[in-house]
């Protein structure tokens, strides 16, 4: 089926993944669907309320693609007969490197679903049951220790996978019929994937504890670094292709890990004061452009004078 089969396979995979994730959300947060329109309005209201989260997600998505886009519009880019842009030398190498992310991400999701979520619930249950400060802090320490140890263990495993990919890069390149010029790009991509995982995992920790502002700033940092360093690597020449992604992931991962560690360390303060909606306010700053996009979808109510 050639390219058509590949496209349908990709779409089918995304569909199955979406259905699976949706079913897990429904199982975790059950709610009867009686009015789909009302449900959509609730979603729009949620988007309007959590604007920092929306902007952060958009920035994060753009950050993943920005280095590819920079290469597409550079001298390395070319146009297919259907009009799509691509950079064969860069795209194929980075795609192979990104596959190394799949096993650790799956393992991390399982960790969130089991041990982390159990300790997360235990922490807030201790607060809800009016536990003493020592009991609450003990629950916090267990949550923090488990989270950081799990993150470290999975990262070390991914580092091992990346090391194998780096050492066998010539064999992989030859087996896939790629150019040996791409070996260095593949190696930098494999190194970057290790730190990209740390960035993703630490970002998830921030979201679990409603640190939307830090999440948004972190994704913005990754976007700027990945795009800027990719452009710089093009200026420096082919020997530096892939270093932009690697350095962007390294720097962003270091910042993300520090943010996650700080969040877990200061969790008691954030829960009771620093992140308490009744104290700091439930709503963050508004983004005018997002309000403009959402305006047609909001239900309007007429007031009678």
Average model confidence (pLDDT) for the chain? 86
pTM, full prediction: 0.83
pLDDT of residue 300: 45
Question: Phi/psi at 79 (nearest 5 deg)?
Answer: -115, 130
Nearest CA to 155 among 198, 106, 205? 198
b/e 141-172 (16+ beta carbons within 10 angstroms → b): eebbebbbebbeebbeebbebbeebbeebeeb
Spatial distance between the Cα atoms of 104 and 153, rounded to a whole number of angstroms: 10
pLDDT of residue 115: 87
pLDDT digits 0-9 by tens, 104-160: 888 888 887 788 889 999 999 999 999 999 999 999 999 999 999 999 999 999 999
Predicted confidence band of residue 288 (pLDDT cuts 50, 70, 90): low
Judge contact between 246 and 188, C-beta under 8 A.
yes
pLDDT of residue 49: 76
**Mean pLDDT value across residues 165-178:** 92
Using alpha carbons, list the distances in angstroms from residue 236 to 69, 114, 246: 18, 46, 15
Judge contact between 48 and 298, C-beta under 8 A.
yes
- The share of the chain scoring above pLDDT 90, in percent, equals 56
> Which H or E element spans position 86?
strand 85-86
pLDDT of residue 291: 63
pLDDT digits 0-9 by tens, 64-120: 999 999 999 998 888 877 778 888 899 999 999 999 898 888 888 888 778 888 999
């Amino acid at each position: 089926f050639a390219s058509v089969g590949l496209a349908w396979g990709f779409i089918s995979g995304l569909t199955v993944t979406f259905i699976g994730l949706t079913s897990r959300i429904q199982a975790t947060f059950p709610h009867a669907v009686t009015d789909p329109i009302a449900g959509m309005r609730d979603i729009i209201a949620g988007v309007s309320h959590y604007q920092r989260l929306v902007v952060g997600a958009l920035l994060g998505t753009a950050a993943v693609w920005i280095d590819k886009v920079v290469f597409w519009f550079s001298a390395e880019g070319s146009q297919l007969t259907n009009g799509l842009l691509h950079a064969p030398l860069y795209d194929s190498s980075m795609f192979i490197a990104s596959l190394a992310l799949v096993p650790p991400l799956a393992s991390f999701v399982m960790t969130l679903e089991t041990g982390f979520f159990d300790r997360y619930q235990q922490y807030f249950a201790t607060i809800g049951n009016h536990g003493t400060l020592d009991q609450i802090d003990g629950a916090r320490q267990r949550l923090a220790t488990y989270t950081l140890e799990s993150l470290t263990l999975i990262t070390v495993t991914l580092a091992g996978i990346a090391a194998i990919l780096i050492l066998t890069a010539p064999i992989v390149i030859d087996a896939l019929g790629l150019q040996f010029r791409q070996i260095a790009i593949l190696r930098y991509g494999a190194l970057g994937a290790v730190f990209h995982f740390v960035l993703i995992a630490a970002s998830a920790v921030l979201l679990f504890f409603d640190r939307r502002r830090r999440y948004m700033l972190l994704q913005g940092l990754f976007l700027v670094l990945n795009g800027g360093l990719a452009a710089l690597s093009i200026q420096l020449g082919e020997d530096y292709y892939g270093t932009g992604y690697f350095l962007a992931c390294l720097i962003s991962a270091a910042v993300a890990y520090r943010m996650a560690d700080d969040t877990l360390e200061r969790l008691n303060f954030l829960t009771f004061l620093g992140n308490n909606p009744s104290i700091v306010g439930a709503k963050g700053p508004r983004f005018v452009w997002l309000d403009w996009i959402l305006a047609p979808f909001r239900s309007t109510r007429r007031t009678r004078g």
